[in-house]
Amino acid sequence: MSVTVVVIGYNDAPHIADAVASACAQGEAVSEVIAVDDCSTDDSVHVLDGVAAHEPRLRVVRRTVNSGGCGTPRNEGLAHATAPYVLFLDSDDVLPPGAVDALLRAARTTRADVVGGLCVRRELPGGRELPWQRELYAKRRTLDEPAALPRVAADTLCVNKLYRTDFLRAHAILFPPGRYLYEDFVFTARVLAARPRMALVPDRVYVWHVRRDEERRSLSLDRDGAENWRARVRAHRQAVAELSGQPTLVRAARAGFLDRGLRMYVRELPRHDPAYQRAWWDLTRAYLTAFAPADVAAAAAPARTAAAVVRNAPAPRDLGRLRDLVSKPSRLLPPSARDETGTPVWAADLPGVPLTHLERAPMGRLPLTVDAILKPAARGSRLRLRLHELYGRVAEAGPVAVQAALVHRDTGRVVQRRSASLAPGPTPGTWTASLRLRLTELEAGTWDVWLMLAFADGTTRTTQPRALTSLGHLHRTAIPSRRHGLVLVHPYATHSASLALRVAPGMRGMGDVVRRKVGRWVR
């Protein structure tokens, strides 16, 4: 038994050799690597020819017309595949060592038509890795058909799976051709609709590189215009149509759309102009009319609430508040409105969005909001915190203390755990605390701030504080340091509005920051 790895690429000469090398490094289980070049205009062909000269397993297929998407080159690679199993790989990603062996071993022992494994998103250049669908691949499973575990429909990736080649051909399963964004939504749905026997393994089988700083972003990361969302909705609608004969998979697919797609784009809404916001809102409202109440109920609470706000509000509103709600960690900012019956609702003028789940949710899952201001200083930087009430649940639990910790984003190293008491704040419905941090002791890199709130009833809640951006405290500060001379500290708000800080110790570190800024300005 052997595997064909299909590598697709377009104008990706800097990375495609690494992708091919990672496939060839899988060993004897890979009998061939088919690299489909989608009519590149850079040096991709020369790079591939150079690799092929020393690697007999590599076959290079050159397209004479660019397809505009990923589906056509993948289909072409599949048509050339000769091995019993096939695996897809994008030119800017890599297969980790042992990936093919892990997938093929599961295929042999379970007689599965499709085997899926853990994909990790690697943020570059930092290298931080985030598992994709971690819970789905937490342990080994064998499914007689996908409906035995409906949430497999939420994993829309096609690259973290090994497919039996004859299975795909017998069911005529192909990717949508041409410029069709999110083509893997449709392909995955077609695979699931054919009711394959499936195996899931916890092994890392794919490394998805996310290069946000590069001049040419990937199709899925290019979300500046409303057309990207329109393409995502179109692909998801088609995927649901492919699954129409399996209602449990349709429900899981729609819940996955809300939990991932809707939340991701809602987080970005505040930074777009009003024309984009209106176009996005109208398109989303129209699409959500197809969702049954049970489809929405299957999603996580923040996604359910956001969907309800969009469906009930005729025009964009509360975008900053929605962004905080759907971020991770989830936060719900005041006001804590109630309708005429006393039921918690999103807003007094939007009673069709009830928040009754907040009255029964455990403290550890409540979307609590803690505002933060960090003032860097040489003799100890002060972190001021303010916890907000949430429909009476905070006062009921009795906040008593908070512990703050700094966590290095790339290494996970935890330093400077500091604790302080929480006392009633000057504004009703708030509690405040103040802690001192020694920022001059931090190593270079990006540091996230994490909090653990403790309550008198014995419960706790772990969260990240929200950076207050309106008070002018988020600016770079050079702090004198005995060890480094100077340390440049830059508190900032992340995409989810959480407080984080970048640290550059010494004159060399400060010079690196200046050079990066100049480089971005020149581009």
pLDDT digits (tens, 9 = 90+) for 372-428: 999 888 777 899 999 999 999 999 999 999 999 999 998 889 999 999 999 999 999
Residue 255 and residue 153: Cα distance in Å, rounded? 9
Residue 208 and residue 18: Cα distance in Å, rounded? 13
Q: Give percent of the chain above pLDDT 90.
A: 83
- Of 375 and 239, the structure prediction assigns the larger pLDDT to 239
Q: What is the pLDDT of residue 470?
A: 65
pLDDT surpasses 90 at 471: no
Least confident of 222-226, 359-363, 501-505: 222-226
pLDDT digits (tens, 9 = 90+) for 74-90: 999 999 999 999 999 99
Assign 396 to helix, strand or coil.
helix
Distances (CA, A) of 38 to 60, 210, 318, 446: 11, 21, 43, 37
Split at pLDDT 50, 70, 90, the class of 212 is: low
List strand residue ranges (DSSP E) for 250-391, in order.
Answer: 345-347, 350-354, 370-375, 381-388
Assign 369 to helix, strand or coil.
coil
- What is the four-CA torsion angle of 248, 265, 134, 464, rounded to 10 degrees? -130
Rounded mean pLDDT of the chain? 92
pLDDT surpasses 70 at 215: no
pLDDT surpasses 90 at 151: yes
Highest mean pLDDT among 247-261, 432-446, 486-500 belongs to 247-261
Residue 144 and residue 114: Cα distance in Å, rounded? 11
User: Mean pLDDT over residues 48-52, rounded?
Assistant: 96
Q: Give percent of the chain above pLDDT 70.
A: 94
pLDDT digits (tens, 9 = 90+) for 250-261: 999 999 999 999
Query: From the centroid of its chain, how far is CA 407?
Result: 19
pLDDT surpasses 70 at 520: no
pLDDT surpasses 70 at 328: yes
Q: Give the residue from 295, 228, 219 showing the smallest Cα distance to 257.
A: 295
User: Mean pLDDT over residues 418-441, rounded?
Assistant: 94
Assign 314 to helix, strand or coil.
coil
User: Mean pLDDT over residues 482-492, rounded?
Assistant: 84
Q: What is the pLDDT of residue 203?
A: 98
Q: What is the pLDDT of residue 214?
A: 56
Q: 472-480: which pairs have CB atoms within 8 A and are 24 or more residues apart?
A: 473/373, 473/374, 473/375, 477/376, 477/377, 478/510, 479/376, 479/377, 479/378, 479/381, 479/439, 479/440, 480/378, 480/440
Its pTM stands at 0.89
Q: What is the pLDDT of residue 513?
A: 45
Split at pLDDT 50, 70, 90, the class of 518 is: very low
Q: What is the pLDDT of residue 220?
A: 56
Split at pLDDT 50, 70, 90, the class of 213 is: low
pLDDT digits (tens, 9 = 90+) for 350-370: 999 999 999 999 999 999 999
User: Mean pLDDT over residues 292-300, rounded?
Assistant: 95
**Domain 3-211 belongs in CATH node 3.30.420.40:** no
User: Mean pLDDT over residues 286-307, rounded?
Assistant: 96
Pick the CATH number of 365-522 from 1.10.3470, 2.60.40, 1.10.10, 3.40.50: 2.60.40
Same-fold call for 3-211 versus 365-522: no
Sorted by where each begins, the domain ranges of the chain are 3-211, 256-360, 365-522
User: Mean pLDDT over residues 94-106, rounded?
Assistant: 98
Query: Scanning the structure block, which residue is given the tokens 């005429």?
Result: 340
User: What is the DSSP annotation of 425-476?
Assistant: -SSTTEEEEEEEE-GGGPPSEEEEEEEEEEETTS-EEEE-PEEP-TTS--S-
CB 308 within 8 A of CB 296: yes
Q: What is the pLDDT of residue 469?
A: 75
